[in-house]
Structure 1
Amino acid sequence: MNPTGDRARRSPQQSNLNRTITTMCGILGTINSRWGEHLAGALETLAPRGPDARAIHHDGKAVLGHARLAVIDLEGGTQPMLSPDGRHALVFNGEIYNFQALRTELQTLGHTFTTRSDSEVLLIGYRAWGETLLPRLDGIFAFAIWDKQEQILFAARDRLGIKPLFYSTASGLIFASTLAPFFKLPGFPTRINAQALRDYLAFQTPLAPDAFLADCRQLPPAHRLRYDARTDSLELKRYWSIPRPDNAGPQTLADGIALADAALKESVARQLVSDVPLGAFLSGGIDSSLIVRYMAEAGARRMRCFSLKFNQEGFDESSHARQVARLFDCEHHELPAPSIDAHGFLAAIDDLDQPLADPSYIMTHALSALTRAHVTVALSGDGGDELFGGYPRYHDPQSAHPERFWQRWARLGVEHGVLPGALTRRTLHGRELLAYRRMELGPWPRCRKGMNRYLQPEALAACAVERTLAGWHALVDELGGELDPATQMRADLWSYLSENCLVKTDRASMAHGLEARVPMLGNPVVEAALSIPSAIHLGQGGKAVLKGLCRDVLPESIWNRPKHGFSVPLRALFQGAWRETGERLFADCERLAPFLDADASRDQWRRCLHDRGGSRRLTYTLLVLLAWLERHPGAREIA
């Protein structure tokens, strides 16, 4: 770089290149484990996440691996990173957005730095502050630090679970960015976690702390892990909690808009730093359009934006995306979604470390491939709906469904077969009714959503279906007990957002070596949004604050229309491009998934295929499970 260049004409991508070393990648390690000698082969599974370099560090009982996607300081910033005295070793996936302020604070304490990296700030910050470093961090991260002297492995995951981290204690400690490396460890048990299977069938994704493999776990969002190799002991602890609602925030819509505006400006500007080409996912909805707006206001020039185009009426938003792209002078790229054939479907499933049945994952996977052909970093609008009241369900609180005097007796009648199972929904109230509406299968044995219809008896017992809603109820209780709009929005942060939306974006983008950044989930935005009362967010039909930010900048057609979402024409795909693959997989159900009721599963496929009332989402859930199992032949047994 030329330090004497004309800074007045330089965009944030250019003027801030000295600010950080960013490392999106895959991390992997073993402590005190018999699988340490197999780390090199397992690390290859993370190559798509880190295509630019791979390195392994051996340090006594510890073996640490890193696969790097170079985004800033392309020649430097290699990992694993060692402290000058060799005591500590770091592997890190993510970005620390406030690392400069932390470095300055550490320098005042007498610490010196030899690089300009956020990685080194993590390493020195841990040496200075220990685990109290974690609440100070604003970023997206999963990292691990090995202390050779104390024989301690310390690992942590960001507040909202944007970056993944899995671990196992099957032999010492093994940790990795995804489940994929565990399949490459010779002899590692690949039994399916029954509770994770249950949650997948109910919510279309396994829920942390469970992982789809019985001998693995997911580190939950906002948690740290401490493993002592001397005693082979593991300790988990949460370091941040979602704040409960209070009355200290903005009391008017205008004040809420002003607060969110400042927070989004700060968050987007921080995330424009890059040594490589940068762009944005652009659907044409409120969230992604606002991200492009703030990118332009921060000085980004000739931005590149990427979107999907559907042929089916009611699914396509490409005209709105083009409108926003023209407004901000973007170089706009579209991918025809109908081109996502069976090969594209199966290729996307290949890149899932555990099943995920969000149909938009397939489309995001294809969109990421298109995007990676032009840029290495893309900003996404993930988080806008959860933080700013974008889902219709937030207008439907628990209090709107009180228990009626007859429902308890009717429920007993259904459970004992005196009344038909079709009446199950009418016997539900409060939280359980709201959960019923969101779930595909659940603990209701005599209705169409009964999980017992699709599982063999042995698997049904192992899954403990009666506890399907236990985790959800516990989270709601912690956040306030009453499932009002404020609690629903907060609960979604550690359920639907962290376990579905962010998994989708991470796996789809990193499969192509594309770094996806999520400015809506930066600390300033999260703190601002959660301080604004839900009544303000839900005004004007929802997303009142974000609509206020759009009103004078974006066309009314962008922000004043019904919520669309990233809808996918599943039935058309079942009947067309994916039909042959679906027929083959469901025909092979007994071999691929011996724990499923094959007849019920095939009947579900046929009813949906021929428009006889079968749930498209449930059909897709079963189809993805079968496709994933076909690619993981060792995963057949339920544990």
Structure 2
Amino acid sequence: MCGITGIFDLRDRQPINRSLLEAMNETQFHRGPDEGGVHLEPGVGLAHRRLSIIDLSGGQQPLFNEDETVVVTYNGEIYNFPELTAELQQAGHRFRSHCDTEVIVHAWEEWGEACVQRFRGMFAFAVWDRNRDTLFLARDRLGIKPLYYSALADGHLIFGSELKALMAHPGMPRHMDPHAVEDYFAFGYVPEPRSIFRGVHKLPPGHTLTVRRGQGNLSEPREYWDIPFGDSGVADAANAAEELTARLREAVDVRMVAEVPLGAFLSGGVDSSAVVAMMAGLSDDPVRTSSIGFADPAYDESRYARMVAERYHTDHRTQEVDPDDFALLDRLSGLYDEPFADSSALPTYRVCEQARQQVVVALSGDGGDENLAGYRRYRHHLAEERLRAPLPLGLRRAVFGTLARWYPKADWAPRPFRARATFQALARDSVEGYFQGVSILRDDLRAHLFSPAFRRSLQGYSAVEVLRRHAARAPTEHPLSLVQYLDMKTYLPGDILTKVDRASMAHSLEVRVPLLDHQLVEWTSGLSPDLKLRGTEGKYVLKKAMEPYLPEEILYRRKKGFAVPVAEWFRGPLRERMRAQVLGPRIADSGIFDMDYLKTLVDQHTSGARDHSPALWSLLMFEGFLARSTA
């Protein structure tokens, strides 16, 4: 895995500042500590940090074609590069290395922009073609690898794997986007294509951007792939389970090619356990597995990981983490650059740290919940949809909207007794209902959170528009498939994959995700929703497929995930720090928040009257972002 960055003169061929490009590149040293490279020519500068995985003695970047008219800087892995190499050699291309990087320059020569259709893997890259006077940026289909870009006032386009590379450029705009702030406090991250800064964008997953010198304004990114949700042609559960096993095994197999130590994360959940089971059947040597445990039994699931490790005789290591391990708080804003409110980033950082002690590449189980409907919120959404279905939206809004306004609020009560919340849910359409279910801070809370001046700057914008935009283009109308699609467009790249990429790259660890193999995703998306969520059992077909490989206790238990005791921290060891930062000068001076309401949140939480930990954690992470971005 690597880090890429570059500067491109959109108007002319003026010299690129080498020292500036090198400074941008060095901000990503952690992504590639093995080597660094820079290529400069009039109007173009490309840079690269390398973490060597394949062809350790070759493959240095930026890398050129035979006559050095095409050059690439690339982050990722293309797993079908041997097949593509053979095809391109047959077409007359000459290779000087044995790495996947060189496939990109020759594929560009042979197929142009359509080259991305041929790649199977995770990637973000930039190709410069001198003959065509064209810069080509691309990002993999699911958004496993990141890519930021910005067109500057001086006519330069800058790009990089992480936002910090762009922030090293003095011309990068640093004006916060109010819409991105609204999105952050709704989702806990800033969804693509926005970044927290106006004028800085993330290239969306499955998109490319072609830039020709002198074209004027940047064109819009072009989508080259989407999740199809077409019919996979498999209706029988037994046949589906058998084919899923074969497809998963093959997706794991192609990701086990490396010239450095390779292993896997093992949480003891279904997804990571399935990946390890497949790896064990494909490897003559014991699989190296890593997990973390917690001293507090309420948070610890390491015994389930040990069950799988013992069954497959893996070389297993567990690092025990104190539930009060909040020493990383100051590092998080530096890792993620933008505000990022997923508190499980803390244990994710630790498991990556632990894994890097024995491997350079780790396979993970990420993507299984989105692919195969594993989240409990999918069940809740379908239950609400069944209640909404009998009545038209207009009638539901009139009846249940009125009842919700008059019924007393009871967030403190058990879910079955929160009638107001039920009435509100019934008054919404499907997308709005799902949005409220995934929002870390509901609409009414965000309305109180922001100052009147900031609310005016939003000009009526609401973060629900992010989901509406994707829903309008969704290739499916089935209520389960639709919310899976929404998650795979937002939560998966914006939260899950971002969290893992930054946490792993902080330790120069490459993470590969077989459950997000695009061929596997295409196939699973077309399975009947009943094979994914059957009754209350999510990931039904995966669990049936893994019954010969994993204990029933692993397959059919309720998984907790990486829980972090934030609510307790804010009433205990982090109480004063949280109060000082949430009510401190950076938050107040931003002009974004209603400080009286923030004080109410802090007082109610610390007294034990209410649990406002999601809002307070989000504010704490936002304050950390302000501290770094204004330094």
Provide the TM-score with structure 2 as the length reference.
0.91
Q: Distance in 2 between matches of 1:462 and 1:192?
A: 11
Cα pair 1:410 1:419 within 8 Å, conserved: no
- The answer to whether the aligner puts 1:26 opposite 2:3 as a matched pair is yes
Report if aligned partners of 1:264, 1:524 keep a CA contact under 8 Å in 2: no
| Corresponding letter in the other structure for 2:246 | A
Structure 1 residue 74 displacement after superposition: 2.0
1:109 aligns with 2:91: yes
Q: Is the 8 A contact 2:235 2:528 kept in 1?
A: yes
Q: Which residue of 2 aligns with 1:620?
A: 617
> 2:570 is paired with a residue of what secondary structure?
helix
| Structure-1 separation of matches of 2:422 and 2:463 | 16
SS at the partner of 1:508? helix
Which residue identity is paired with 1:468?
A: A
The superposition leaves residues 402-431 of structure 1 with CA deviations (integer Å, 9 ceiling, x where unpaired) of 45775433677699x888788576243332
Equivalent residue number for residue 244 of structure 1: 229
Question: Equivalent of 1:136, from 118, 131, 150?
Answer: 118
Cα pair distance change 1:148/1:414, threshold 3 Å: farther
Question: Using the alignment, how far apart are the partners of 2:589 and 2:241 within structure 1?
Answer: 52
Whether the aligned pair in 2 keeps the contact of 1:378 and 1:516 (CA below 8 Å) is yes
Whether 1:353 aligns to 2:337 is yes
Q: Compare 162-171 and 183-192 and name the one that shifted more.
A: 183-192
Secondary structure in structure 1 of the residue aligned to 2:336:
coil
Label 1:380 to 1:340 Cα distance change in 2 as closer, same or farther (>3 A): farther
Return the offset for 1:94.
Answer: 0.2
What's 2:524 paired with? 529
Q: Residue 570 in 1 paired to residue 566 in 2?
A: yes
SS in 2 for 1:362: helix
3-state DSSP of counterpart to 1:134 = helix
2:397 pairs, out of 405, 408, 429, with 408
Q: C-alpha deviations, 1:449-508, integer Å up to 9, x for none?
A: 3x2211122222223454321221221232256451122222211111111111111011
Say if 1:467 and 1:594 are closer, same or farther in 2 by CA, change over 3 A.
closer
Match of 1:43 among 3, 20, 25: 25
3-state SS of 1:366 partner = helix
Q: 2: CA distance between counterparts of 1:514 and 1:507?
A: 10
Residue aligning to 2:575: 579
**What is the CA–CA distance in structure 2 between the aligned matches of 1:308 and 1:315, rounded to whole Å?**
11
Change (3 A) 1:242 1:355: same
Q: Equivalent residue of 1:51, what SS? A: coil
CA positional deviation for 1:115 = 1.2
State how far apart, in whole Å, the 1-side matches of 2:407 and 2:476 are: 31
Distance 1:477 1:220, change over 3 A: same
CA gap 1:508/1:100 in 2 versus in 1, 3 angstroms: same
1:539 Cα offset (Å):
2.3
Q: 1:211 to 1:265 in 2, by over 3 A?
A: same
Name 1:90's counterpart in structure 2: 72
8 Å CA contact retained: 2:147, 2:162: yes
3-state SS of 1:230 partner: coil
- 2:43 is matched with 61
Match of 2:553 among 557, 561, 574: 557
Could you tell which deviates more after superposition, 573-582 or 104-113? 573-582
Measured after TM superposition, the shift of residue 36 of structure 1 is 4.2
> Is the Cα–Cα contact under 8 Å of residues 401 and 423 in structure 2 kept in the other structure?
no
Per-residue CA deviations over 1:492-532 (Å, capped at 9, x if unaligned) read: 11111111111111011011111111111113321231232
Instruction: Tell me the distance in 2 between the aligned counterparts of 1:412 and 1:293.
Output: 50
**Equivalent position SS for 2:511:** strand
After TM superposition, give the deviation of residue 343 of structure 1 in Å.
2.5
CA distance in 2, matches of 1:430, 1:314: 37
Secondary structure of the structure 2 residue equivalent to 1:301: coil
The counterpart of 1:517, out of the listed 506, 512, 515, is: 512
**Once structures 1 and 2 are overlaid, which stretch shifts more, 304-313 or 213-222?**
304-313
Q: Distance in 1 between matches of 2:480 and 2:326?
A: 40
Cα offset, 1:204, TM superposition: 0.5
Q: Return the match for 1:205 from 166, 189, 200.
A: 189
Mapped to 1, the partners of 2:308 and 2:229 lie a distance apart of 36
> Could you say which residue in structure 1 is the equivalent of 2:275?
291
**Structure 1 residues 153 and 127 mapped into 2: Cα distance closer, same or farther (>3 Å)?**
same
The answer (yes or no) to whether the contact 1:94–1:163 under 8 Å persists in 2 is yes
Residue 90 of structure 1: CA displacement? 0.2
> Which residue identity does 2:169 align to in structure 1?
L
Identity, % of aligned pairs?
33
Q: Shift of the alpha carbon at 1:592?
A: 6.0
Aligned equivalents of 2:403, 2:622: Cα separation in 1: 30
SS at 1:154 equivalent? strand
- Kept after mapping to 2: 8 A contact 1:390/1:543: yes
Residue 558 (structure 1) shift: 0.6
TM-score (norm 1): 0.89
1:344, 1:366 within 8 Å by CA — same for their partners in 2? no
2:157 — aligned with what? 173
* Equivalent in the alignment of 1:325: 309
Equivalent positions of 1:171-320 (< 5 A) are 171-235=155-219, 236-246=221-231, 248-299=232-283, 301-320=285-304
Where structure 1 has 5 or more consecutive residues not aligned to the other structure, the ranges are 1-23, 635-639
The residue type equivalent to 2:433 in the other structure is L
Question: C-alpha deviations, 1:522-566, integer Å up to 9, x for none?
Answer: 133212312321111112611112111221221111112123233
Cα distance change, pair 413–393 in 1 and its aligned pair in 2 (3 A) = closer
Are 1:201 and 1:441, in contact at CA under 8 Å, matched by a contact in 2?
yes
Q: Which residue of 1 aligns with 2:417?
A: none
User: Per-residue deviation at 1:174?
Assistant: 0.7
Query: Pairwise CA RMSD of aligned residues?
Result: 2.3
The answer to whether the 8 A contact 2:134-2:212 is kept is: yes
* Greater mean alpha carbon deviation, residues 109-118 or residues 581-590: 581-590
- Report Cα offsets for 1:430-463 as digits up to 9, x if no partner: 3222321221335x4xx3x3x2211122222223
Say whether the 8 Å CA contact 2:58–2:98 is kept in structure 1.
Answer: no
Change (3 A) 1:285 1:354: same
Match of 1:11 in 2: none
The amino acid across from 1:28 in the alignment is T
Q: Distance in 2 between matches of 1:179 and 1:483?
A: 36
Paired letter, 2:500: T
Equivalent residue number for residue 433 of structure 2: 433
Given candidates 334, 342, 352, the residue that maps to 1:368 is 352
**What is aligned with 1:487?**
482
Match of 1:386? Answer: 370
SS in 2 for 1:48: helix
Matched-pair contact (CA < 8 Å) for 2:150–2:172: no
Q: Which amino acid aligns with 2:569?
A: L
Q: Which residue number corresponds to residue 603 of structure 1?
A: 600
- Unmatched tracts of structure 2, length 5 or more: 411-419
- 2:66 is paired with a residue whose SS is coil
Give 1:468's aligned residue: 463
Partner residue in 2 for 1:16: none
Distance in structure 1 (CA, Å) of the matches to 2:258 and 2:573: 38
Q: CA deviation at 1:176?
A: 0.6
Residues of 2 paired with 1:123 and 1:148: CA distance?
A: 12
Deviation at 1:317, TM superposition (A): 0.8
CA–CA distance in structure 2, aligned partners of residues 49 and 71 of structure 1: 12
* Structure 1 pair 231–617 and aligned structure 2 pair: CA distance change class (3 A): same
Tell me the residue number matched to 1:81. 63
Change (3 A) 1:582 1:592: farther
Which residue number corresponds to residue 414 of structure 2? Answer: none
Tell me how far 1:584 sits from its aligned partner: 2.6
1:605–1:614: 8 Å Cα contact kept in structure 2?
A: no
Aligned residues of 2:441 and 2:614 also touching (Cα < 8 A): no
Contact 1:341-1:578 at 8 Å conserved across structures: no
How far does residue 348 in structure 1 lie from its aligned partner after superposition?
Answer: 2.9
Q: Give 1:270 shift.
A: 0.9
Distance 1:302 1:253, change over 3 A: same
Aligned-residue offset at 1:572: 2.6
How far did 1:187 drift? 4.1
Moved runs in structure 1, 4+ residues, more than 6 A?
A: 417-422
User: Shift in Å at residue 300 of structure 1?
Assistant: 5.0
